[in-house]
């Protein structure tokens, strides 16, 4: 292999800290290096990975969104707003509203709403299991999620519990 290949192979095995230690840096030197180059949190990252990022200028053309990242979903809203009705239909269905009434309220064909509800019902058990695991991962002290009366209602309930667990852990 070429010298560059050998360096890449060795560098892929070494963290930045290990690389610096291997080149004679003491603990104080490593700490100074991390602080001065704002790389303290990257000391356990691979050397080659960091070099690729720097050499490749991966972070020089970063796009920012005025108002913050929470504006990203809103950017898609004009094109997608007619499709963002699924959750409202499922939640209203759990509350007892029929699919025809839901369709009128949402301004979509009744067959569309009935299809949404059927697909959700088919996947309700999988969704309940997935969001239960998410909720417990976010809040290990979470108590049992009580049955809500149907497979669909149970899934909606545990999705709400997982969202609540997320907000309590990370904020809204």
Question: Taking residues 81-86, what's their average pLDDT?
Answer: 62
How many helices and strands, by DSSP H and E, does the chain display?
Answer: 9, 0
Give pLDDT tens digits for 88-109: 777 778 788 888 988 888 888 8
Give pLDDT tens digits for 16-30: 899 899 889 999 999
Given a contact cutoff of 8 angstroms between Cβ atoms, the answer to whether 125 and 152 are in contact is no
Q: Determine the pLDDT at residue 96.
A: 82
Q: Is the pLDDT of residue 42 over 80?
A: yes
Q: Determine the pLDDT at residue 24.
A: 93
d(CA 65, CA 73): 11
Tokens of 18: 């290990």
Instruction: Tell me how crowded residue 126 is: count the other CB atoms within 10 A of its CB.
Output: 10
Band (160; pLDDT cuts 50, 70, 90): confident
Q: Is the pLDDT of residue 36 over 70?
A: yes
Q: What percent of the chain has pLDDT over 70?
A: 84
Round the average pLDDT of the chain to a whole number and report it.
Answer: 81
3-class secondary-structure state, position 89: helix
Band (167; pLDDT cuts 50, 70, 90): confident
Question: Taking residues 111-129, what's their average pLDDT?
Answer: 88
């Amino acid at each position: 292999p070429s010298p560059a290949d050998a360096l890449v192979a060795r560098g892929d095995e070494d963290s930045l800290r290990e690389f610096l230690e291997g080149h004679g840096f003491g603990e104080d030197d490593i700490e100074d290096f991390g602080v001065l180059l704002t790389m303290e949190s990257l000391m356990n990252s691979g050397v080659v990975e960091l070099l690729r990022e720097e050499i490749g200028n991966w972070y020089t053309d970063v796009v920012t969104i005025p108002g913050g990242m929470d504006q990203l979903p809103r950017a898609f809203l004009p094109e997608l707003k007619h499709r963002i009705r699924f959750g409202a239909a499922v939640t209203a269905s759990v509350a007892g509203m029929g699919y025809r009434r839901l369709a009128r309220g949402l301004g979509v064909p009744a067959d569309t709403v009935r299809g949404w509800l059927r697909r959700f019902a088919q996947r309700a058990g999988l969704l309940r299991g997935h969001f239960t695991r998410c909720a417990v991962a976010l809040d290990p002290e979470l108590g049992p999620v009580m049955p809500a009366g149907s497979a669909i209602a149970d899934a909606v309930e545990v999705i709400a519990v997982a969202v609540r667990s997320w907000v309590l852990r990370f904020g809204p």
